[in-house]
Amino acid sequence: MKPNKQRRKELRKKYDEIPRPYVEGYFEEMENRDYWDIDALEKINAPIRKKIKYWEEEFVPTGNMGKWWRSIQLERLYKKLKSYK
Structure confidence by residue, pLDDT tens digits, 2-46: 677 888 888 888 877 776 655 455 555 555 555 656 777 888 888
Closest CA to 11 of 33, 36, 32: 36
Position 13 scores a pLDDT of: 83
Predicted confidence at residue 83, as pLDDT, reads 66
Per-residue CA distances from 47 to 34, 41, 77 (Å): 22, 11, 10
Q: Is the pLDDT of residue 64 over 90?
A: yes
Alpha-carbon gap, residue 38 to 29, rounded angstroms: 14
